[in-house]
Amino acid sequence: MFERTKGKSLDIALSGLLILAGLFIFADLFARSSQRHIAYSDLKAQLRQGSLVEVALGSDLITGTLESGATVVAQRPGSDDTLFQHLDKAGVTYRAASDWRSVFYGYVAPALLLGSCLLLYHRRRSGSLKAFGKRGKSILLSDNPDVSFEEVAGCDEAKHDLAEMVDFLQTPEKYLELGAHPPNGVLLSGPPGTGKTLLARALAGEAGVPFYSLSGSDFVEMYVGVGAARIRDLFRIARQNAPCIVFIDELDALGKKRDERGQGNEERENTLNQLLVELDGFDKDNKVIVIGATNRPDIIDSALVRPGRFDRQITVDAPDWQGRLAILKVHCKNRKLCPATSLESLAKATSGMSGAELANIVNEATILATRERAECIAESHFDEAMERVLAGPVRTTRILTGELRRRIAYHEAGHAVVATLCEHADPVQKVSIVPRGKAALGYTLQLPAADTYLMTERELYDRIRVLLAGRAAEKLVFGDFSTGAENDLIRASQMAKRIVGHFGMSGEGSLLHMGHEFREVSLATQNRLDAEADKLLMKLQVEALKMLECHCKRLDLVAEKLLEKETLDSEELLEIVSSQSD
Range of the domain at 28: 2-118
Beta bridge partners of 581: none
Nearest Cα to 445, choosing from 459, 466, 421?
466
**CATH number of the CATH domain containing 376:** 1.10.8.60
Question: Are 333 and 438 found together in one domain?
Answer: no
Question: Are 114 and 55 found together in one domain?
Answer: yes
Question: Are 421 and 552 found together in one domain?
Answer: yes
**Catalytically active residues, by annotation:** 412
Task: Decide which of 315, 347, 364 is a domain's last residue.
Answer: 315
Question: Are 305 and 328 found together in one domain?
Answer: no
Low-confidence ranges of the chain (pLDDT < 50): 1-6, 127-143, 516-518
**CATH number of the CATH domain containing 199:** 3.40.50.300
Q: Does a structural domain hold residue 125?
A: no
- Pinpoint the alpha helices (H) of 308-452: 321-331, 343-349, 355-371, 379-391, 402-421
Question: Are 415 and 539 found together in one domain?
Answer: yes
In single-letter form, the type of residue at position 437 comes to G
Q: Does a structural domain hold residue 533?
A: yes
In single-letter form, the type of residue at position 294 comes to T
Question: Are 296 and 148 found together in one domain?
Answer: yes
Instruction: For 274-337, give the DSSP string.
Output: HHHHHHHT--TT--EEEEEEES-GGGB-TTTSSTTSS-EEEE-PPP-HHHHHHHHHHHTTTS-B
Q: Does a structural domain hold residue 569?
A: yes
Question: Are 163 and 276 found together in one domain?
Answer: yes
Question: Looking at residue 546, what is its pLDDT?
Answer: 93
**CATH number of the CATH domain containing 575:** 1.20.58.760
Q: Does a structural domain hold residue 62?
A: yes
Question: Looking at residue 13, what is its pLDDT?
Answer: 64
Question: Are 306 and 191 found together in one domain?
Answer: yes
pLDDT in tens, 214-258: 887 777 765 566 778 888 888 888 888 878 888 888 888 888 887
Question: Looking at residue 58, what is its pLDDT?
Answer: 65
Q: Kindly report the number of other CB atoms within 10 A of residue 438's CB atom.
A: 8
Task: Decide which of 369, 391, 413 is a domain's last residue.
Answer: 391
Spatial distance between the Cα atoms of 323 and 197, rounded to a whole number of angstroms:
17
Q: What is the pTM of this model?
A: 0.68
Question: Looking at residue 85, what is its pLDDT?
Answer: 65
Spatial distance between the Cα atoms of 289 and 282, rounded to a whole number of angstroms:
10
Q: Does a structural domain hold residue 95?
A: yes
**CATH number of the CATH domain containing 16:** 3.30.720.210
Question: Looking at residue 345, what is its pLDDT?
Answer: 86
Q: Does a structural domain hold residue 364?
A: yes
Question: Are 244 and 308 found together in one domain?
Answer: yes
Task: Decide which of 265, 294, 315 is a domain's last residue.
Answer: 315
Question: Looking at residue 237, what is its pLDDT?
Answer: 84
Classify the C-alpha dihedral 504-508-512-513 as positive or negative. negative
| Contact predicate 414/428, CB 8 Å | no
Mean pLDDT value across the chain: 77
Question: Are 310 and 427 found together in one domain?
Answer: no
Question: Looking at residue 141, what is its pLDDT?
Answer: 43
Question: Are 103 and 242 found together in one domain?
Answer: no
Q: Does a structural domain hold residue 124?
A: no
Summarize the chain as % helix, strand, coil (round to 5): 55, 10, 35
Question: Are 363 and 436 found together in one domain?
Answer: no
Total tally of structural domains belonging to the chain: 4
Q: Does a structural domain hold residue 123?
A: no
Question: Looking at residue 242, what is its pLDDT?
Answer: 79
* Backbone φ, ψ for residue 435 (5° rounding): -60, 135
